[in-house]
Amino acid sequence: MTGIRSCPVRPEYTLILVLLIFSVLLNLRLYVKVNSKLGVSAREDQRDPKIRHMSGENSDFSLSGALDVKHKVNSHKHQELRHPSSFHATEVDKHKTNNQKYMYNTQGIKLNQARDMLGSVDPKVESLKNNKDIIQNTIQTAVSGRDAEEGGGDHALRVSNYESALSSKLKKSNSTAMNLAEYQKPIQPRNINNVNPGTEKLDQPKLKWDRILSMTSYGDHSFNATASDSTSMNRPVPDTRPQSCKTIKYDTAHLPKTSVIIPFHNEAWSTLLRTVHSILDRTVDEMLVEVIMVDDASTHAYLKDPLTDYVSRFKKVHLLRLQERHGLMRARLQGAQAAHGEILFFLDSHSEVNSGWLEPVVARIQEKRNAVIIPTMDIIRHNTFAYNGASGLFHGSFTWKLDFKWKEVPKFIRDGLKTERDPIVTPVMVGCAFGIDKQYFFALGAYDTAMEIWGGENIEHSFRIWMCGGSLETLPCSHVAHVFKPKLPYKFPGNPFNVIQRNSIRVAEVWMDQYKHIFYATQDKLAAVDMAAIEARIKLRTDLQCKTFDWFLKTIAPDIPVPPFNTNVFGQLRHYWTQDNCLTVDENNGVVRLIKCGEQHISEQAFLIDQTGQFMHRKSCFSINENYSLQLDPLCQMSSHHYWQYDDYLIRHVPTNFCVTLDETTSIIALAQCDYKLKAQKWAFSYELNWVKNKDVKTVTEQALSPPNDALYFGQLKNVGSRKCVNAFETKEYSMIHCHRQPKFQQILHYDINGKLVYQNLCLSNSVKHKLVVLEKCSSKHGNWDYNNQTQQLRNKNTGLCLRHYRNYSILTFDLCNDSDPFQRWVFSRYVHSKQEL
């Protein structure tokens, strides 16, 4: 029997049809809305502090249907669909409300881009993307709605502008969290053999969208900005406080008022504004003086005028613009100096506060002025932006590399807690969120402004607070969520490692006393620092009459294991290949076994091999018994029987050439003939220490700041016209900086007898086009400069042109030599030798 065969409609074509229908309906509703609101005051649009057009929650002008479809089919350009960088502010009447501006953009470009991205779902739909008539009609429809609102205008020009914007946005997506190649990978359909017919639909666009939301490629922000953009600005979050915290009543009228300070640099639009909205939505109004957003010289266009327009609607939100990049510490300090609240709360720009977050913080500071309060940190997943409450009882600590580390609250602190609401003593703050009394903040020395960009400031601040009479506490009744990024997204001047290390050296030199040598021993190489700038912070410590670092370790952080000064390797002994398993010793019977590293008590982590070759756990030494198994002797003897070496992750007993081995079938710790290829014999200590190589940072700095023997001139290279100095970096980058702001360790450019301009092992040279100066690894070809001490000009022998600073830019160029041009004149800060002397 022959039946009629039905052809299922592809979901992609269905979605396109839905988009077209919504385009007509939405524009019709926009036209009706515009005509109905012509006489309404702009203030009426601002009565609701929630940004309805961004969250998709506008009940009057609903885009939910179109956005739901769009969210399922959008791709790596989704962030651009949400960003106001696509707005044409010059075409919009400045007196119109912000809501109307965003409606235009949503109505026109967003819908069109959603259509365009739909074409990449399947190659068979690709032809639809190129259908100029359909695209043109959609643009014409969107522009018509805009013309109706603006009273006409050059319709053709508007169409052209939309087409240009569309073309531009399709080509550029540099601030997205999505990797296009990842998106284009084919999706493996789910196995539906065991699914009853009709109970499950394979929605391919939705599957692709779900995959985008859990991407492992994080783009410019080191998190999935696509997932952030798809999340409402005003999303509800679970109240993660302990139940007993929710019943506490605060007399908010008599609590100190707070200024929240949010520094940011090139932050994602939705993430930044969700941080602000969470504060406005979940903070008692009478307790909040202001939210100060400190723009640390962001370069993204959407963080310029669009951000200014957006936040202007909120009376308590202020935008402070810094013209030059200052870094986290100085940006926070600028915000603190501008603040009017009695309490300062510093918050990262990728956070969300929870219900009742501020009251317990302020109440505790009112009770104890020198207490610095840290909320319990919930987690916003960087790949999905899911909100997860904190699990377990953890507080902040540090490693001897001066990195921050989460640690389970030790038993001696837990035993002192009477209720689940009690403040938890915390040795080191996490840094992304904390509250402090404003007067106390400045009396304690605010921030170390000689620290650069990011890194180490929370360690320094924590040591200073504790050692100078304050305290750090984590409050279980205050919860704030934070996006903990898998890598650093910040742009550093030069090598990021050197920037962070210099910050850490400042911490060690000022606060750690003799224990600073442990930090130095963990470093492969030390960078030169500005020792003179360190002296000012040492004087601050003296003036504040602060305690010693030894007091801090024994009183505040007694659970931190301290390596002896004759130790080669030290700390947790982690199996290199299984990672989560660590060596431990049963204190009852001395048996050596494996344990989950996170379950180790701090006293079990003190394994070491000292400079005499003794392999020790605490004060006992390991040896090999007659059965060739590992045993722990309570008495250590200086003999070859106790002689061990640690090399290439092998723990080798030198007399027998046997190595500590994990039996992977029984998980028993055994000894076997050493084999460098055997994974079961690979172990990693927490620290490998070199006490000789990096003994004195002062010596390292003095050597770095000494002119080489072949130098004629040395130090700062100052341009007479701009009064700025050449600031070179080991990453082959350079900039022009105000000379008084150039750190001492950067003042090491020299002109040598061979005519080279040298920074470390890099030379300034002409580019292939002979117009720009570049930094390259030095070779014989770079002896091409002639410095005339009379005219103060640097002439390039290859081009016959003179070095010139391109005014107002960090660019060095070449130009025809002109004695009267001050931007071609250069002065070195130090004269060293003449050619005759050398």
Q: pLDDT tens for residues 374-399?
A: 999 999 998 889 999 887 788 999 99
pLDDT at 62: 31
Closest CA to 803 of 766, 828, 831, 768: 766
pLDDT at 640: 65
Q: Which runs of consecutive H residues, i.e. helices, occur in 132-232?
A: 132-150, 155-171, 180-184, 204-212, 225-229
pLDDT at 334: 94
The rounded distance, in Å, linking the Cα atoms of 690 and 567 is: 9
Structure tokens at 253: 């009228």
Q: 603 pLDDT band (50/70/90 cuts)?
A: low
Q: Which residues of 707-718 are buried (b: 16+ CB within 10 A; e: fewer)?
A: beeebbbbbbbb
Residue 567 has pLDDT above 50, yes or no: yes
pLDDT at 16: 63
The answer to whether residues 248 and 241 touch, using CB atoms and an 8 Å cutoff, is no
Task: Give the pLDDT mean for 632-652.
Answer: 82
The answer to whether residues 147 and 153 touch, using CB atoms and an 8 Å cutoff, is yes
103: phi > 0 → left, psi -120 to 50 → alpha, else beta; which? alpha
The rounded distance, in Å, linking the Cα atoms of 350 and 318 is: 18
How many CB atoms sit inside 10 A of residue 488's CB? 13
pLDDT at 499: 84
**151 or 484: whose pLDDT is higher?**
484
The rounded distance, in Å, linking the Cα atoms of 311 and 313 is: 5
**339 or 676: whose pLDDT is higher?**
339
The answer to whether residues 271 and 260 touch, using CB atoms and an 8 Å cutoff, is no
Q: Which runs of consecutive H residues, i.e. helices, occur in 174-283?
A: 180-184, 204-212, 225-229, 269-282
The answer to whether residues 351 and 480 touch, using CB atoms and an 8 Å cutoff, is yes
pLDDT at 91: 32
SS3 for 233?
Answer: coil
Closest CA to 816 of 793, 832, 838: 793
The answer to whether residues 679 and 802 touch, using CB atoms and an 8 Å cutoff, is no
The answer to whether residues 139 and 163 touch, using CB atoms and an 8 Å cutoff, is yes
pLDDT at 545: 95
pLDDT at 584: 85
Q: Which of 25-29, 38-42, 193-197, 561-565 has the lowest mean pLDDT?
A: 193-197
The answer to whether residues 396 and 404 touch, using CB atoms and an 8 Å cutoff, is yes
pLDDT at 285: 94
The rounded distance, in Å, linking the Cα atoms of 739 and 416 is: 53
| Residue 610 identity (one-letter amino acid) | D
pLDDT at 349: 93
Task: Give the pLDDT mean for 547-567.
Answer: 91
The rounded distance, in Å, linking the Cα atoms of 627 and 671 is: 10
pLDDT at 729: 84
Closest CA to 560 of 426, 397, 684: 397
Residue 141 has pLDDT above 50, yes or no: no
Q: 504 pLDDT band (50/70/90 cuts)?
A: very high
Residue 158 has pLDDT above 80, yes or no: no
Q: What residues pair up with 826 in beta bridges, in sequence order?
A: 719
Task: Give the pLDDT mean for 115-130.
Answer: 36
Measure CA 455 to chain center.
Answer: 10
Residue 294 has pLDDT above 50, yes or no: yes
Residue 101 has pLDDT above 80, yes or no: no
pLDDT at 502: 87
Mean pLDDT, rounded, of the chain:
75
Most confident stretch, 171-175, 188-192, 804-808: 804-808
Task: Give the pLDDT mean for 493-518.
Answer: 87
pLDDT at 26: 59
Q: Which of 119-123, 813-817, 825-829 has the lowest mean pLDDT?
A: 119-123
Q: Which of 334-338, 357-361, 407-411, 786-790 has the lowest mean pLDDT?
A: 407-411
**454 or 99: whose pLDDT is higher?**
454
Q: Which residues of 284-312 are buried (b: 16+ CB within 10 A; e: fewer)?
A: eeebbbbbbbbbbebebebbbebbebbbe
The rounded distance, in Å, linking the Cα atoms of 174 and 219 is: 8
CB-based contacts of 361: which residues, under 8 Å, 6+ apart?
Answer: 343, 345, 373, 375, 435, 475, 478
**290 or 159: whose pLDDT is higher?**
290
pLDDT at 490: 65
**818 or 9: whose pLDDT is higher?**
818
Residue 320 has pLDDT above 70, yes or no: yes
Task: Give the pLDDT mean for 82-106.
Answer: 34
**502 or 835: whose pLDDT is higher?**
502
Q: Which of 51-65, 279-293, 519-533, 751-765 has the lowest mean pLDDT?
A: 51-65
Q: 346 pLDDT band (50/70/90 cuts)?
A: very high
The answer to whether residues 301 and 348 touch, using CB atoms and an 8 Å cutoff, is no
Q: What's this model's pTM, rounded to 2 decimal places?
A: 0.69
pLDDT at 253: 92
The rounded distance, in Å, linking the Cα atoms of 758 and 749 is: 6
Give the tens place of pLDDT for each residue, 251-271: 999 999 999 999 999 999 999
The alpha carbons of the chain give a radius of gyration, in whole angstroms, of 32
Residue 486 has pLDDT above 80, yes or no: no
Most confident stretch, 278-287, 561-570, 750-759, 780-789: 278-287
The rounded distance, in Å, linking the Cα atoms of 73 and 81 is: 12
pLDDT at 76: 33
Closest CA to 757 of 808, 794, 788: 794
Closest CA to 206 of 72, 69, 18: 72
Closest CA to 304 of 312, 313, 295: 295
Residue 725 has pLDDT above 70, yes or no: yes
Residue 487 has pLDDT above 50, yes or no: yes
Which H helix or E strand runs over 712? Answer: strand 711-719
The rounded distance, in Å, linking the Cα atoms of 787 and 775 is: 18
Q: 322 pLDDT band (50/70/90 cuts)?
A: very high
Question: Both ends of the chain: CA-CA distance in Å?
Answer: 106
pLDDT at 675: 92
**455 or 143: whose pLDDT is higher?**
455
Give the tens place of pLDDT for each residue, 195-242: 333 333 334 444 444 434 444 445 678 788 888 888 898 999 999 999
**99 or 789: whose pLDDT is higher?**
789
pLDDT at 738: 87
